[in-house]
Amino acid sequence: MLINMDKIQLKEYFNRLSRVRQKRGVRNRYYHNDIYKLLNFLIPKDASVLDVGCGDGEILSRLGRPKSVGIDFSPVVIASAEQQHPAIEFLEMDAEYLCLNKKFDYVVISDTIGFLSDIQSALSGLHRICHPKSKIIITYYNYLWEPILKLAEKLHLKTSEPIQNWVSCSDVDNLLYLAGFEIVKRGERLLFPKYFPLLSSFLNFYLAKMPLLRHLCLINYVVARPRPAGKVLPDRDPSVTVLIPARNEKGNIETAVQRVPKLGSHTEIIFVEGNSTDSTWEEIGRVKAKYSNLDIKMMKQDGRGKGDAVRKGFDVASGDILMILDADLTVRPEELPKFYQAIASGAGEFINGSRLVYQLEDQSMRLLNIFGNKFFSLMFSWLLDQRLKDTLCGTKVIWKDDYERVKSGRSFFGDFDPFGDYDLLFGAAKLNLKIVDLPIRYQARTYGTTNISRFRHGWLLLQMCFFAMKKIKFI
């Protein structure tokens, strides 16, 4: 345990290591390249970053994020980092005694917590440099690898290190909780931390992602956020836009308006009509005129699919919070205050409706659809490293400013989702937003028929999953 080595000895160790690396370069380049790829995927291009235990600053230099700062308690290490990367700000500072007057979007603690004498104090101190939407990324090695790593040191295949803290995944979870943080996502990387052509790629990009085998990986990582203590916007109630895509839903339009409750400081309702054949557009106009005391807007869709309708509606929405309500009213509008409370209180940053908790109403969902939804929920939980029970519920809620970030990063996945559900889920996961399932009672529609084709659309959803797998999982 680190208690056997005081900080003076530890600082001397890192001073010596820095001098060695200046002469010989960094060993295990393959391992460090993988850490870089992970961080480059997790951290948005415009995010400000603090690297705690930055070493020679190579990670910050390769990331190239604006307003980056690196700290390390070794003066020799900091001097080396400043010499190699003069454009980046480096500070000599102990991670357990942070004294910065800046807030950062992301804090990186890579291969550092094993050397801290008081991990909880160090994590607690991070609140001083975090805002409510900041994210903490911690990487640490799987202690199952300890015998292998020690053997590698004796064979001079790895730089010798002092004995570190024995930190398990549950220990990291608990320490983050005690320090006032909560886990957003977690994952594992590298079954084989050395480079051999073809073999390394096969083991690390494919087998390392598989259930059970993933727990044998060398690297564990978590993304966490400050645990909210109360309402995110205590000075005012955020306004809300309720977006209702509607195609052949004439019989549900007025009922939807009557049942949507007042939410926050102001409730805006936007109908996006999708080239209906049953006078839905005319009905929206009639209802808008009848309920002129409400803020109702109407748009005619020039594209196809719910995803196109969602994107067009959200582009003109004025609310601080954006909600989707399907016009078939299978998710009851009376449930929307639960979604509002969940996101306004900070319980989640993306609220996803879940129809698979409460007993389903008769005829509300066919048996094959239930199996399909359960399959896709398992697939997504694995893909996104966050637990999701129902990916296809139409009701999803996100902050407007977070949606704008999802929109700006849409080129990463491409505009390929005709439904809108996956586009939002993939985007939220890429931004490391805290996704929270909110159980709702799902009921059968009372007007019209579904616009979803089980087999044709199910095949399309499966194709999108495989596409996303390559973009998210195999990096």
The model's pLDDT over 375-393, given as tens digits with 9 standing for 90+, comes to 777 777 777 777 777 877 8
Domain spans of the chain?
2-226, 240-473
Tell me the mean pLDDT in the region 397-423. Answer: 82
Specify the length of the chain in residues.
Answer: 475
Q: How confident is the model at residue 434 (pLDDT cuts 50, 70, 90)?
A: very high
The answer, yes or no, to whether residue 271 has pLDDT greater than 90, is yes
What pLDDT score does 462 carry? 74
Least confident of 55-59, 84-88, 141-145, 196-200: 141-145
Asked if residue 24 has pLDDT above 60, the reply is no
Question: Under CATH, which number does the domain 2-226 receive?
Answer: 3.40.50.150
Lowest mean pLDDT among 300-304, 312-316, 337-341: 300-304
What does 46-94 look like in DSSP terms, one character per residue?
T--EEEET-TTSHHHHHH--TT-EEEES-HHHHHHHHHH-TTSEEEE--
Diameter over CA atoms, the chain: 81
Higher pLDDT, 172 or 450: 172
Distance from C-alpha of 334 to C-alpha of 209, rounded to nearest angstrom: 40
pLDDT: which is higher, 442 or 73: 73
By CB atoms closer than 10 A (0-12, 13-18, 19+), residue 293 is exposed
- pLDDT top residue among 365 and 15: 15
Instruction: Tell whether the model's pLDDT for residue 2 goes beyond 50.
Output: no
Say if CB 190 and CB 204 are below 8 A apart.
Answer: yes
User: pLDDT class for 293, splitting at 50, 70, 90?
Assistant: very high
Q: Which of 350-371 are b and which e, b meaning 16 or more Cβ less than 10 Å from the residue's Cβ?
A: bbbbbbbeeebeeebbeeebee
161 vs 132, more confident: 132
Name residue 341's amino acid: Q
Q: What is the mean pLDDT of residues 121-130?
A: 94
- At residue 3, the pLDDT reads 40
Q: What is the mean pLDDT of the chain?
A: 85
Residue 24 tokens read as 């010989």
At the top level of CATH, the class of 240-473 is: alpha beta
Residue 1: pLDDT above 90?
Answer: no
Q: What is the mean pLDDT of residues 364-383?
A: 70
Over the stretch 105-115, which tens digit does the pLDDT of each residue have? 999 999 898 88
For the cut 90, the answer to whether the pLDDT of residue 288 exceeds it is yes
350 strand-pairing partners: 398, 435
